[in-house]
Amino acid sequence: MKNTFLSQVINRFTARKSAIISFALVFFLIILSFIGPMFLPYSPDEINVDQILLPPSINHWFGTDALGRDVFTRVLYGGRISLLVGFVAEGIAVIIGVILGSISGYYGGKIDSIIMRFADVMLCFPTFFLILSVITFLEPNIWNIMLVIGLTGWMQVARLVRGEFLSLREREFVLYEKVLGNSNFYIIFKHILPNALNPVIVSAAFGIAGAILTESALSFLGLGVQPPIPSWGNILTSGKDMMEAAWWLSVFPGLFIFISILCYNLIGEGLKEALNPKYYE
């Protein structure tokens, strides 16, 4: 049964060319960011005053910046930071959302009301401005960025999981486990949660794209990852005042941001289609 379901999901996902191409691009981008710099002759912080603001060439594929640093190398290192923030921040949001959504949907009553009202209050605030407000009181480093994005992004996941739990908790297999005397913890994480993860997987794909965009925006504003550590956002910042003289400083990191976010969204659409319950009824 499980293998049949998995094969159906894979077949439906692979039927969407946009999803497959996006998945391949994301995989290539991850490999390029984490392994590619090992084969490059430059360091991301290597300053060379003799090669300031050189345009793209054979020696410097993406040109150089105002300090003579190779932009291609910095973009790849920046990819490590931006992709890491996306995965870890969304991972934090998913863990919190799954735990709170499971408790809320399974127990219901006052516990459900308290958790959902707290989620509603959090959703009342524009997420980006909430993150900006918190970051102003913390040191702007990668760890704080990941933590803050994760702590302000769990609400949608919690609502999705709660909705699934409200439906699943009355099913016969759950009632059977209760009759057997199994603990609530065992029933939640062994039997209900595995059946409630489909919308979470889809949401996580979109969430990674959102986290990457948020980190890039924070770094662009100077509130994210701080130089000399490169990220796509702060590389963009270094080129925003030199668009006419050095267009490559903004175009290439911006292109990587655009491709990453587009690919994750297309993967999310593919997963949404592949995991749609109407195809497995």
pLDDT score at 62: 92
Amino acid sitting at position 235? I
pLDDT score at 97: 95
Concatenated DSSP letters of 16-73: -HHHHHHHHHHHHHHHHHHHGGGG-S--TT---GGGTTPPS-SSSTT-B-TT--BHHH
pLDDT score at 1: 43
Residues ≥6 apart with Cβ < 8 Å to 199: 160, 161, 163, 164, 275
With contact defined as beta carbons under 8 Å apart, do 137 and 222 qualify? no
In angstroms, rounded to a whole number, what is the distance separating the alpha carbons of residues 213 and 86?
8
Omega cis (within 30) before 277: no
Domain 76-272 in CATH 1.10.3720.10 = yes
Residues ≥6 apart with Cβ < 8 Å to 141: 225, 226
Tens-digit pLDDT string for the chain (281 aa): 445 767 888 888 888 899 999 999 999 999 999 898 888 888 888 888 888 888 999 988 999 888 889 999 999 998 988 889 899 999 999 999 999 999 999 998 899 999 999 999 888 887 788 788 777 777 777 888 888 899 988 999 999 999 999 888 888 888 888 888 888 888 888 888 888 888 899 899 999 999 999 888 888 888 888 878 888 888 888 887 787 788 898 899 999 999 999 999 999 998 888 887 555 44
Query: Which of 60, 41, 150 lies closest to 99, judged by CA?
Result: 150
pLDDT score at 278: 59
In angstroms, rounded to a whole number, what is the distance separating the alpha carbons of residues 246 and 63?
9
Query: Which of 224, 249, 209 lies closest to 83, judged by CA?
Result: 209
pLDDT score at 170: 80
Q: For the chain, which residues make up each domain, given as ranges?
A: 76-272
- Is pTM, for the whole model, over 0.75? yes
pLDDT score at 21: 94
